Chain A
């Protein structure tokens, strides 16, 4: 089969806004108008963007909690297995199973697994690293990490990007462009 028929480039409408307040407002209006696949691109986190995009609760806290619990359980059972069950050492007849001496490592491993799940869980959730994304096609998008505020909307298959662009311009975008995924 040929490349031409199998590859359907994803299309995005990318609108730039003068400041974060206008971006927030336009995001809410676009969403209320029924546009899907919306995302904002800002140099720093903008207060209120989650509500404007209609995002649910963040998933990271649950992942971290599970990671930390797993770390604590792993540590405690590891120490128990090694020092009580598999290779007990009798030092001055102290108890083999001595919880106070097991707490430091239990705590450390809870932090270690909690922290690594905060980090790697984040990249799993965000599907990063993702070196290529169609929004990078726009040259002006370089400013998204420096000082500019963008709103992107993925155009659904069969949709007309021009319609989305018109809406975005109505809601206050200073510069609207349509970008298309390039075939690699």
Chain B
């Protein structure tokens, strides 16, 4: 769509020359034009096609949830002992996907990683939508969501009862709602200067007014920037421990129980690593097509993609280490139930194919990123990212279903199979996510233009300062 004067950046063949974060000769005005281009132009056929598919997915969500409300939770495949199944698998999967957004925007900001600038907006939006999808599952698992507020929140009802705050499920409520709120505020705060740019570069009065309302009268004031920078930094500082705490608390749902396969202290770090792993894979799955179709190749360069692949490799190794340790402790503890779950039920039981698919996707596939060729090949990285998404879903399935369906008493053992309602809701949330994401790509700049301009200014200053002996810098 966007074809600015930047398409053909000179490719350096010198391996020692660092790859560029912003390609081509850019000015603030050209960045403004190219980064907002996809907001101003009408969406193409590709966007409408994807949007149509996404809406079909959304319809499936509507059908699945309506049927659940009409029939009750019995419409799902859950049984006793597998009382938790797709609802919690998908909840954990979506929450994990959201974590990459916070990691990219907050942790990489604190670590002053410059390459975060072009992808943070994109990833933060993904966080928001992923958490929305995640929240649907526990909410509907209560069966009567309209009563959920009474059970979950400390609401002063006439019954005079309060939530049991020693339960990790109540911690979850607070953790996930805090996570959603803080992510939303952080995202919107970062968006305000860009909304002001959109207001000021809009051509029609209606668009100017709409973006003007959301820009809240931002005028780039130096006095405002001084406080704004602190606010943004502190929100990043608060998000960093928050993101670690959220998946830690999600893992407590399992780790504080006594079920073999769940009752383990490695869960919190292993869940967080898995979350970042799956989240980066999801960012990559969307970023690869988006940078092509939105004309963002000059700011989302091969260096960004390569760095993301390196993070996938690193977190993939952490996840693999988690698997190895789980199995080692199951053997080393001498606990027969733990041993049975890890070495018999998971590897050779009825759900063994899912276990081996998990091992393939999460342990074997990321190893391809040791090779620079694979890290810089668009098709390979895209397929690998999709496989990692599949693998992480399988991991949650393996943890939840295999542990539940074979616990201590053989007389309690039962197989699990999802129903069409389970599938419909799961695919439906993918539809919801895609719908929201496509709308985001249409109405909001996918790349934080203000931050890219700042980065360009900084890099130009550094290059300039090197020759002019940095006289202007105090």
Name A's B-contacting residues (CB within 8 A). 20-21, 24, 27, 39-46, 48-53, 55, 58-61, 64, 68, 78-79, 82-83, 86-87, 89, 91, 94, 98, 101-102, 104-105, 107-109, 111-112, 114-116, 118-119, 121-123, 125-126, 128-133, 135-136, 141-147, 150
Contact = CB atoms under 8 A, between A and B. Distances in A.
B95 to A, nearest CB: 14
B307 interface: no
B219 A44 contact: no
Interface in B219-258: 219-231, 234-235, 238-239, 241-242, 245, 249, 252
Given A42-B222, A43-B450, A48-B474, A82 B162 contact: yes
Given A41-B222, A43-B453, A98 B235 contact: no
Given A55-B222, A105-B171, A128-B224, 9 more contacts: A44-B453, A50-B226, A64-B231, A104-B249, A105-B174, A121-B231, A126-B224, A131-B216, A135-B219
B457 A131 contact: no
B196 interface: yes
B201 A146 contact: yes
Interface of B: 27-29, 32, 154, 160-166, 168, 170-171, 174-175, 178, 181-182, 185-186, 188-189, 193, 196-197, 199-201, 212-213, 216-231, 234-235, 238-239, 241-242, 245, 249, 252, 450-451, 453-454, 457, 472, 474
A116 B242 CA distance: 14
B216 A128 contact: yes
B218 A118 contact: no
8 contacts: A27-B222, A44-B457, A48-B474, A111-B178, A115-B242, A133-B217, A133-B219, A146-B197
B175 A108 contact: yes
Contacts of B199: 145
A86 B218 contact: no
A133 B28 CA distance: 24
Contacts of B249: 104
A167 to B, nearest CB: 18
B222 A50 contact: yes
A79 B213 CA distance: 40
A60 B474 CA distance: 25
A25 B399 CA distance: 61
A65 B175 CA distance: 20
Main secondary structure of the interface of A (DSSP, over half): helix
A23 B104 CA distance: 32
Contact of B182 (A20, A58, A102, A115): A115
Contacts of B162: 82-83, 86-87
B178 A109 contact: yes
B178 A122 contact: no
A142 B170 CA distance: 49
Contacts of B220: 40-43, 144-145, 150
A89 B164 contact: yes
Given A41-B221, A44-B457, A133-B217, A118 B193 contact: no
Contacts of B166: 83, 91, 94, 98, 101
A143 B200 contact: yes
Contacts of A115: 178, 181-182, 185-186, 235, 238-239, 242
B200 A104 contact: no
B245 A108 contact: yes
Contacts of B450: 43-44
A38 B161 CA distance: 57
B223 A43 contact: no
B134 to A, nearest CB: 16
A122 to B, nearest CB: 4
A172 B291 CA distance: 40
Given A82-B165, A83-B165, A144 B219 contact: yes
A105 B161 CA distance: 18
Contacts of B32: 146-147
B174 A118 contact: no
Contact of B225 (A42, A101, A130, A142): A42
A45 B228 CA distance: 9
A102 B174 CA distance: 12
B40 to A, nearest CB: 13
A60 B179 CA distance: 21
A59 B227 contact: yes
B152 to A, nearest CB: 12
A105 to B, nearest CB: 5
B161 to A, nearest CB: 6
Given A105-B171, A129-B216, A112 B178 contact: yes
A145 B175 contact: no
A117 to B, nearest CB: 9
A104 B245 contact: yes
B182 A60 contact: no
B393 to A, nearest CB: 26
Interface centre among A27, A45, A123 (most CB of B within 10 A): A45
Contacts of B217: 128-133
